[in-house]
Amino acid sequence: MPDGTDVDYDGLIPNNVDLNHDLVVRRALETWHPGYIDWWNDMGPEGFQQALVYLRTAVSVDPKGWAKFDYVRMPEYKWGILLAPGVDNRKIPFGRHKGEPVWQEVPGEYRAMLRRLLVIQGDTEPASVEQQRHLGATAPSLYDLRNLFQVNVEEGRHLWAMVYLLQKYFGTQGREEAEELLRRRSGHQDTPRMLGAFNEATPDWLSFFMFTTFTDRDGKMQLAALAQSGFDPLSRTCRFMLTEEAHHMFVGETGVARIIERTCAAMRAAGIADATNVGAVRDVGVIDLPTIQKKINLHFSLTLDLFGNEISTNAANAFNASLKGRFREDKLTDDHELLGDTYPVLRCVNGAIIEQQVPALSALNMRLRDDFVDDAAAGVGRWNKVIERSGIEFRLALPHVAFNRRIGEFTALKADTEGRILGDDEWARAPDKYLPTTDDNLYVTSLMRPVRETGAFAGWIAPPKVGIDNKPGNFEYVKIEES
């Protein structure tokens, strides 16, 4: 049932790609499976592998009812291969091959380029699990603990998604890449993950919520661009991954919103009107808004680096080859080839930030980044509504795209969060002013104490408005005593 919506759960690897009749790939995946489980046991959530967790598992790819919820021990989670249904007579929507029927096999001349895209995408998935593996120890509630684990098992499944494509379409090389994906480690000195943000630590829950707000949103943008691909199996894989990704961003955005809500409520209760009076706010045991702003500055700027260089021939080549499109390519009304078009790009010229029109094809990373910034700004707007409703005078904002960059045009630029160029003295003070300091991190860490009673929440975060799967407030999302 290759294009079906139901998933075959009979074998070791649940799938809707008819693995039963694809013995070579099935065997390759079954051979890879034990290494994956070893990786999960070594690098997955620490300390909770035997706990019963109320997880959703994909049982179908039908948008109306693809998930079922039940208690599962994480190593027994049904990781599988799920592709969104094929679209009849789908045509390639962009690039040199626009209008041709989509490919079901990889065109020979694009093998290397496609493999690289799959490997980069695949590498981020286990990386994020590794980054988050210690967070279970300090979860502010069972609800949050369950959400962390949901995100983790689904990132694991997203690794399976890329590994399936590598194993099925790239032969021996694909199998080697699949092994390498299990071998690299986030933050490891000798075998790090491929992209910068995936080697950073996620030391506390505020960082986790920022990561899932911003970095998972990069995931959304990149997957949306790959979902347009002329290589149909990639398009279908990414379309289904996007349905799972939405929950990860929900976890992040509502997590930060709940922290803000609690902070504002505690400030009101204590009669603190000045949000910048950090000492007074910390005295009542909540996270001050300036620290939340600094975490935004950090995670947003780290995530911008994931879009690569503003001007990129790799991006132009991938678009020309009809492998990686733009965000919502199918909704755009231009010619989808961009050969004579230009796009405005912020560049660093003689130490200043100026806008230049450049060939649209080479500016595709920038364009996707712009779409990301708009999407992220809407999220910050929703956080500000929470502050506004509490009557407190403080607004959060995204920093300027030139701030704190390690990839692209602005790497060498000394810009602040407003995009102003700083002198050497101001620049030396900038990290403490705009990014979390050791003190800030120590304070946040001091709040990270586990709360494991059903229905209870740590004092620095508000409960959610609704439970997962509409469960009531006192629902036992994780049964820890089963471990």
Distance CA 74, CA 153 (A): 7
List, in order, residues 6 or more apart from 248 with CB less than 8 Å away.
151, 154, 212, 216, 219
Q: Does 82 bind ligand BYC (CB under 6 A)?
A: no
Token pair recorded at residue 341: 């078009």
Instruction: Please report which residue ranges of 271-363 form alpha helices under DSSP H.
Output: 278-283, 289-304, 313-320
Angle between helices 289-304 and 364-390 (to 10 degrees): 170
The stretch among 5-13, 94-102, 306-314, 467-475 that binds ligand BYC (CB under 6 A) is 306-314
Q: Does 263 bind ligand BYC (CB under 6 A)?
A: no
Residue whose pair of structure tokens reads 């795209």 in the numeric block: 401
Closest CA to 363 of 309, 285, 282, 435: 309
Q: Residue 155 or 177: which CB sits closer to ligand BYC?
A: 155
The stretch among 72-80, 302-310, 348-356, 393-401 that binds ligand BYC (CB under 6 A) is 302-310
Q: Identify the three-state secondary structure at position 193.
A: coil
Q: Residue 20 or 411: which CB sits closer to ligand BYC?
A: 411
Q: Residue 242 or 284: which CB sits closer to ligand BYC?
A: 242
Q: Residue 117 or 287: which CB sits closer to ligand BYC?
A: 117
Instruction: Let me know: does 260 contact 267? Beta carbons within 8 Å.
Output: no
Instruction: Let me know: does 201 contact 62? Beta carbons within 8 Å.
Output: no
The stretch among 84-92, 119-127, 273-281, 384-392 that binds ligand BYC (CB under 6 A) is 119-127
Instruction: Let me know: does 12 contact 78? Beta carbons within 8 Å.
Output: no
Q: Does 308 bind ligand BYC (CB under 6 A)?
A: yes
Q: Does 120 bind ligand BYC (CB under 6 A)?
A: yes
Give, as ranges, the residues between 206 and 235 that touch ligand BYC (CB under 6 A): 215-216, 218-219, 222
Q: Does 124 bind ligand BYC (CB under 6 A)?
A: yes
Distance CA 398, CA 408 (A): 19
Instruction: Let me know: does 214 contact 300? Beta carbons within 8 Å.
Output: yes
**Sole binder of ligand BYC in the list 58, 251, 407, 447 (CB under 6 A):** 407
**Sole binder of ligand BYC in the list 59, 315, 360, 401 (CB under 6 A):** 315
**Sole binder of ligand BYC in the list 312, 320, 362, 404 (CB under 6 A):** 312
List, in order, residues 6 or more apart from 208 with CB less than 8 Å away.
132, 135, 148, 202, 252, 255
Q: Residue 224 or 392: which CB sits closer to ligand BYC?
A: 224
CB of residue 132 to ligand BYC, shortest distance in Å: 9
Q: Residue 207 or 222: which CB sits closer to ligand BYC?
A: 222
Q: Residue 263 or 322: which CB sits closer to ligand BYC?
A: 322
Distance of CA 133 to the CA centre of its chain: 15
Distance of CA 444 to the CA centre of its chain: 22
The stretch among 6-14, 49-57, 115-123, 285-293 that binds ligand BYC (CB under 6 A) is 115-123
The stretch among 202-210, 301-309, 353-361, 390-398 that binds ligand BYC (CB under 6 A) is 301-309
The stretch among 71-79, 121-129, 141-149, 473-481 that binds ligand BYC (CB under 6 A) is 121-129
Q: Identify the three-state secondary structure at position 5.
A: coil
Binding footprint of ligand BYC, residue count (CB under 6 A): 25
Residue whose pair of structure tokens reads 């919103």 in the numeric block: 257
- Environment class of 425 (CB within 10 Å of its CB; exposed 0-12, middle 13-18, buried 19+): exposed
CB of residue 69 to ligand BYC, shortest distance in Å: 22
Q: Does 195 bind ligand BYC (CB under 6 A)?
A: yes
Element counts in the chain: helices (H) and strands (E): 13, 5
Q: Residue 263 or 365: which CB sits closer to ligand BYC?
A: 365
User: Taking the CA of residue 235 as centre, how many other CA atoms within 13 Å lie in the half-sphere pointing to its CB?
Assistant: 27
Give, as ranges, the residues between 415 and 444 that touch ligand BYC (CB under 6 A): none
CB of residue 218 to ligand BYC, shortest distance in Å: 5
**Sole binder of ligand BYC in the list 231, 307, 372, 457 (CB under 6 A):** 307
List, in order, residues 6 or more apart from 88 with CB less than 8 Å away.
none
CB of residue 324 to ligand BYC, shortest distance in Å: 6
Distance of CA 112 to the CA centre of its chain: 25
Report the chain's terminal Cα–Cα distance, integer Å: 38
CB of residue 273 to ligand BYC, shortest distance in Å: 37
Q: Residue 231 or 394: which CB sits closer to ligand BYC?
A: 231
- What is the pattern of x (binds ligand BYC, CB under 6 A) and - over residues 131-160? ------------------------x-----
**Sole binder of ligand BYC in the list 293, 362, 365, 404 (CB under 6 A):** 365
Instruction: Please report which residue ranges of 170-277 form alpha helices under DSSP H.
Output: 171-183, 205-210, 216-226, 232-270
Instruction: Let me know: does 103 contact 80? Beta carbons within 8 Å.
Output: no
Positions that interact with ligand BYC (CB under 6 A): 117, 120-121, 124-125, 128, 155, 195-196, 215-216, 218-219, 222, 305-309, 312, 314-315, 324, 365, 407
